[in-house]
Amino acid sequence: MIKVENLHKKFEENIVLEDLNLFVKEGETEVVIGRSGIGKSVFLKCLVRLIEPDNGKIFIDDKHVLDLKLKELNNLRKQIGFLFQGSALYDSMSVEENLSFPLKKHTELSDGEIRDRTIEMLEMVGLVDALKKMPAELSGGMKKRIGLARSLILYPKIMLYDEPTTGLDPVTSKEITRLIIKMQERFKMTSIVVTHDMICTMSVADNIVMLEQRHFIFSGTADELMNSKDKFIINFLSTHLER
């Protein structure tokens, strides 16, 4: 479903990503781990050209993303849900308006069908009572859950999660992790999760890659990661599993 070949990105003279290769099978969840600020979010945004890569190839659902014209790219993006690190809700819109906006923009659904879909998604994340609330009235965890509901409202084939548990307390982080698993089980999506939360990683990953110094230095299962003899990986795990 997703194939990345020799992806390269730099900002001025600072090389962030170099010759990255990744293959994600349909219906599986790939987790990209690594230290904060190492380029994980840049990698995720390159996949859908929110950031333009400098070189390489990206194939999503057999389409070469970097060759797509804007209209074709936007059509592809409709099939991709993206949960941003800051949830990216529109502050001037209520929760209901935030969720219904993509449906009004990209579908032919009636007002009644849009409301039904909105309620359905809020029920899935346990926040029907927040329908009329404004983003300023929501906690950080609630914003994440609303952001997740909105990213799923078009029933995407692919989900991209950018640090879904960052800034949340441990209890709320576990709630978001359980929601990711629940959504995966229901919609059978192909997913990429960018995080340094190892509890989330171990819970959701079919496969894990670690980004360090511009390269993927590990690719494998959770068990293979835990049994790695690499000193950097051992130190990373010891630091992040303690949190």
> What mean pLDDT do residues 140-153 have?
89
Average pLDDT, the chain: 91
User: By C-alpha distance, which of 104, 94, 93, 146 is closest to 121?
Assistant: 146
Helix residue ranges, H only, the chain: 40-47, 70-77, 95-106, 111-124, 140-152, 170-187, 198-204, 222-226, 231-240
* 113-127 residue pLDDT tens: 999 999 999 998 889
Q: For the purposes of burial, counting CB atoms within 10 Å of the CB of 66, is it exposed (0-12), middle (13-18) or buried (19 or more)?
A: middle
User: By C-alpha distance, which of 20, 49, 52, 50 is closest to 34?
Assistant: 20
> What mean pLDDT do residues 175-198 have?
90
* 40-93 residue pLDDT tens: 999 999 999 999 999 999 999 899 999 999 999 999 998 999 988 877 888 999
User: What CATH number belongs to 2-240?
Assistant: 3.40.50.300
Structure tokens at 203: 């819970």
- Residue 243 predicted with pLDDT over 60: no
> What mean pLDDT do residues 189-193 have?
95
> What mean pLDDT do residues 140-168 have?
90
Handedness of CA 78, 59, 9, 161 (dihedral sign): positive
Beta strand pairing call for 207-212 and 215-220? antiparallel
Predicted structure pTM score: 0.91
